[in-house]
Amino acid sequence: LAHFLDAKEISSCHVVGHSLGAIIACSFVRSFSNRVESLMIASPAGGYGSAPEDIQNERRVARIQLLEKLGPERLAQERHSFLLSENAGKVARERVRNVMAQIRPAGYRQAVELLIESDIKHDASEISLPVFVVVGEADKVTPLEECRKIATYFKKSNFQILPDIGHACYVEDPICFNTVLIRHLESGA
């Protein structure tokens, strides 16, 4: 990300991360705080970096085996609804399913390793910037109370629940998500 910003001649920016992207965003902010104007994380994954090795291995194996057993297409067909609320519309369901069907196994394995090795709590303890944490009320992947707990890891944070939407909050209700994001950006974060 730092190299990308350099290539685009962007000295500082607002950083937004969703799910696994929240871990990446926090790591970036910890390493390059001087380049970050604000941080918003949505439905943040916490990572398993501080979990015992047996738990890490269990999570790793379960995720990899599921993809190997089903393949991207079937995984998308059988699991896409887990990322959405029960009330999600047809367009959101199709979009999430189509994106999941394009999972590349090698990239998925890298994402699993990032999740297993990371610990957002560690990064959060070194971030002095105020952090805005949002989560969909119907999120089954990173449940509301887990996200509320993650918000407490930061020295300064605000926490907001996005009503009636699931984990893929920005897909399921882009108007709600973008309204909250714009408000965050306009507040001077």
**pLDDT tens track for 59-91:** 999 999 999 999 999 999 999 999 999 999 999
**pLDDT tens track for 84-113:** 999 999 999 999 999 999 999 999 999 999
68 close to 44: Cβ distance less than 8 angstroms = no
**pLDDT tens track for 137-161:** 999 999 999 999 999 999 999 999 9
Q: What 3-state DSSP class applies to 16?
A: strand
Cα–Cα distance for residue pair 28/133, rounded to 1 Å:
16
